[in-house]
Amino acid sequence: MSDVCKIELAGQTYELPVITGAENEKAIDISRLRQETGYITLDSGYGNTGSTESEITFIDGEKGILRYRGIAIEELAEKSDFVETSYLLIHGVLPNQQELSAFRDQLTYHSLIHEDMLRFFDGYPPKAHPMAILSSMVCSLSTYYSDSLDPNNIGQVQSIVPRILSKLRTIAAYSYKKSIGQPVIYPKNNLSYCANFLHMMFAVPSESYEVDPELEKTLNMLFILHGDHEQNCSTATVRIVGSSDANLFASISAGICALWGPKHGGANQAVIEMLETIHKGGGDVKEAMRRAKDRRDPFRLMGFGHRVYKNFDPRARVIKAACDRVLSNLGVQDPLLDLAKRIEEEALSDSYFLDKRLYPNVDFYSGILYRAMGIPTEMFTVMFALGRIPGWIAHWVEMKKNQERIGRPRQIYQGATNTSYIPIQERS
């Protein structure tokens, strides 16, 4: 069967090549469509449009499959840690012992930010959202590396990758400390990536702090699960900003802003706020279902639904399974977990959700774990961003390696046709 797509337009037949992916996905290559036919395609929200060919992450939304560089997310969540998975995403292969040790050392020795940057935090109001701080601080970070901003200089890019991975973790922890009026806690070189973050988040100068291994293990798992997700909104943003030859700091800053939206990474905060509201209102799950199904009601069942997954999000399965274990190991009782399980059970027996194939996504249970770990709700999306950094970097590097053209979608114009200027005295 020939891999060619034939279309007929205005009585003329055209042939377009068909691309077959490594997992047998099919695409019609329309890169010459306008040149040959004068037509463009239209696909609001890009639900049917591929922006690139990528080797980083594979998702099968119908089967609920997610693999980083071919390795199943369930296996990585169980056997790997965040630093090793970050290396896998960015470099395309699992590191050998020497490569892994060298990568860990890079992240350890690039964890401090310039001392002058501490003063930046003083300019934010106490209740400033940490995503606003993270995005602006990562862009400001670029001013300290003005000699390493050439996006087409591999050596310069490789010098800033560990800095971004390591310093954004520090900035996130510092923003938390500033928000609660505590002194920032400097990173310690004898701690692992995740243990260092927990140390910077929860240690205080006046007493010693031991990182709980259960928290460190849980954080590694959560960061791995958020590591990458192919062409999601924020990753597509990082790629398109980078396609203008903007530097990696600027591209990541834009990705953080895209992730902030409650339809995307901001959903993990919105889920907990939703569960708290339902819980405070008496836990009426039926009423929540009724509102979620009412198109006139802006209420959405946050943490449910996904553009790609029309089955269980495999990340949600892993996180849900971890909730009972981690909360019991931490000795935490959270009524919101039981409420979340009741909502899931109710939704997955309701034809509205089943017909529209709306299942729990990565954000539905993640907040339960963050809460149990002592992470405040407004920091949840920052946690998502910290996990997603290796994925954003991997895609940005891939886009540069493939020398992709600047991203510039077309449109169909539907506005006023050719009209003349009307002098103000003649206007109504």
Binding-site ranges for ligand SDX (CB under 6 A): 45, 229, 232, 263-265, 267, 292, 300-308, 356, 358, 361-363
Residues in the chain: 428
228, 313, 334, 363: the catalytic one is: 363
- 185 vs 271 by CB, closer to ligand SDX: 271
- Tell me the closest approach of the beta carbon of residue 89 to ligand SDX, in angstroms: 13
* DSSP 8-class letter at 256: H
- 47 vs 415 by CB, closer to ligand SDX: 47
Identify whether 122 is a catalytic site residue: no
- 235 vs 253 by CB, closer to ligand SDX: 235
Question: Sheet holding 4-9: strands in order across?
Answer: 4-9, 12-20, 26-28
Q: Which residue is nearest to ligand SDX (CB)?
A: 305
Quote the tokens at residue 378.
């407004």
306, 313, 334, 395: the catalytic one is: 306
| CA 361 to each of CA 17, 57, 120, 282: distance values in angstroms, whole numbers, following the listed order | 34, 17, 35, 25
Which residue type, as a one-letter code, is found at position 126?
P
- 334 vs 363 by CB, closer to ligand SDX: 363
- Tell me the closest approach of the beta carbon of residue 259 to ligand SDX, in angstroms: 8
CB 78 within 8 A of CB 220: no
- Tell me the closest approach of the beta carbon of residue 79 to ligand SDX, in angstroms: 21
In which element (H, E) is residue 18 found?
A: strand 12-20
- Tell me the closest approach of the beta carbon of residue 303 to ligand SDX, in angstroms: 5
- Tell me the closest approach of the beta carbon of residue 179 to ligand SDX, in angstroms: 24
Identify whether 306 is a catalytic site residue: yes
Q: 415-419 contacts: CB < 8 A, separation 24 or more?
A: none
Which residue type, as a one-letter code, is found at position 104?
R
- Residue 312's nearest CA partner among 303, 324, 301, 322 is 303
- 279 vs 300 by CB, closer to ligand SDX: 300
Quote the tokens at residue 426.
């003649």
Q: How far apart are alpha carbons 186 and 203 in whole angstroms?
A: 10
| Catalytic positions, written as ranges | 306, 363
